[in-house]
Every structure is written in C-alpha cells, then in structure tokens.
Amino acid sequence: MRKKLGCLHAHHSNIEYIEQAFKSNEDIELIHFVDPGVIHQVAKGLDGLALKVREQIGWIVSCDVDAILITCTNYIALLEEQDLLNLSIPILKIDEPFFASICSVQQPQTILFTNPATVEGTMTRLQQYAKQQGISVNVVAKVIEHTFDLIMQGKKEAYNDAILRTLYTLSDDYRYVSVAQLSMVDAAQQFEEQTAITIHHPLRTVADVVMRTIEI
C-alpha cells in the first residue's frame, strides 16, 4: 500500500523539486500544501505566525497522511519541539539532513541564500544542530541580493542566471558551497553539470530520510 507524504511548502515553486526527489518511487504518494502568505508575513515580523503554522500542521494531519515533510526553514523555525510531540505521525524537517552534511565538513563553508528573511532562522537552526552534535562549523551566510523577487514573480530563468553567476564567482575561492533553499537547486545542478564542482543542497538526502522514517 502506498504511503502518503504531506508536503508543506512556503511557495508553489518547491513542489517540482520534491516531485523530482521521489519521481522514481512508486511507494510514495505526495500531497502538497502551499501557503506563500507565511513567507511574506515572516519578512514583516508579524506575531501569530507560529499559531498559523501549527494550524496548518493540524490540517495536514487530518488529511490522513502517513508523515509530513516541511520544506521551508521559516516554517520549521516557527515550530517548537513541543508542538510536534503529541502528533500521531512523523514530522520531517528538510533542513536537518542538510545540516548533517554541512557539519560533516571541517573546511570553511559558504551557504548561499536568495531570500534574506530565511537567513537568521536557518543559521540559528544550523548552529543549534551543530551544538547538539558537539561540532563546531566554520560557515558564513551570503545573500544574493535582489534575486528572490524574481522567483516570486515567476522569472525562473533570470533567477537561475543570478545564482549561476554567484556560483561561478565563488568557485575560485575553494570553499565548500551550499545553497540553502529548494528554489536554488536547479541552478546548483546546472552549475555541477557545467563544472563538475559539487554544490550541496537540501534535496540530496531527503528521499532517503523519508523512506527510512516511514519504513518503506
């Protein structure tokens, strides 16, 4: 029997990436839930967002899914662990396997972002994760300025081009480079194909983690 995975996204553009990660797996049925409004509210710093995300999680649980995958770090950062303790199904956070890959590297690293509103939450969670593992990481965050609006406006080609230009600039620095957002994966993969330089991103390990968690 196929397992149902509820995927909570902050933007509809993330759907294709998760579909890509599971395209060869017939044992998983993906059910997508999207609310772009939360990402706009995070940028404004409005209160009450944690309650909104908890309500979304409750709604997804009521849809009889076997597990939930949260693909946005801002959503994850708004949730406290106690919010998840009483749930009857696993809640998977896409950033934790990504953090594990970052923490496995000792050399200096750069994590690229296009959305400035995601930086603080992601870096705070990364440092918390590293501390829990007893690891110190040498990581700097870099925002590709004036880029995120392009993907929000549906200008994907221009968005990818801006990321590619930055990746080529950084490729001379011999640093371990990651992209923090799913929307950046296409550009990262294009860069890898063109240069054979690996760019790490949250999509790499998500399928394996899901499969282990829901025991397929």
| Domain containing residue 79: CATH number | 3.40.50.1860
Regarding whether 54 and 87 lie in a shared domain, the answer is: yes
Q: What proportion of the chain, given as a percentage, has pLDDT over 90?
A: 46
Say what the pLDDT of residue 164 is: 96
Regarding whether 80 and 141 lie in a shared domain, the answer is: no
Amino acid at 105: V
**Can you tell me which residue has the tokens 């860069």?**
191
Regarding whether 186 and 135 lie in a shared domain, the answer is: yes
Regarding whether 135 and 184 lie in a shared domain, the answer is: yes
Residue 85 reports pLDDT greater than 60: no
Say what the pLDDT of residue 72 is: 82
As a whole number of Å, the CA-based R_g of the chain is: 17
Regarding whether 187 and 100 lie in a shared domain, the answer is: yes
Please give the model's pTM, rounded to 2 decimal places: 0.81
Regarding whether 70 and 55 lie in a shared domain, the answer is: yes
Average per-residue pLDDT for the chain? 86
Amino acid at 108: P
Mean pLDDT in residue range 57-65: 91
Give residue-wise pLDDT tens across range 1-19.
789 999 999 888 889 989 9
- Backbone torsions φ then ψ of 175, nearest 5 degrees: -105, 155
Give residue-wise pLDDT tens across range 89-115.
888 888 888 999 899 988 899 999 999
Least confident of 37-41, 139-143, 148-152: 37-41
Regarding whether 108 and 90 lie in a shared domain, the answer is: no
Regarding whether 85 and 7 lie in a shared domain, the answer is: yes
Say what the pLDDT of residue 82 is: 54
181 vs 78: CA distance, rounded Å: 17
Structural domain range at position 181:
96-195
Say what the pLDDT of residue 63 is: 93
Regarding whether 128 and 44 lie in a shared domain, the answer is: no
Domain count, the chain: 2
Residue 49 reports pLDDT greater than 80: no
Regarding whether 86 and 103 lie in a shared domain, the answer is: no
* Neighbouring-strand partners of residue 93: 70
Pick from 169, 182, 189, 113: which is nearest to 144 by CA? 113
Residue 87 reports pLDDT greater than 80: no
CATH of residue 155:
3.40.50.12500
Regarding whether 83 and 117 lie in a shared domain, the answer is: no
Regarding whether 7 and 63 lie in a shared domain, the answer is: yes
pLDDT band at 152 (very low <50, low <70, confident <90, very high): confident
pLDDT band at 86 (very low <50, low <70, confident <90, very high): low
Residue 42 reports pLDDT greater than 80: no
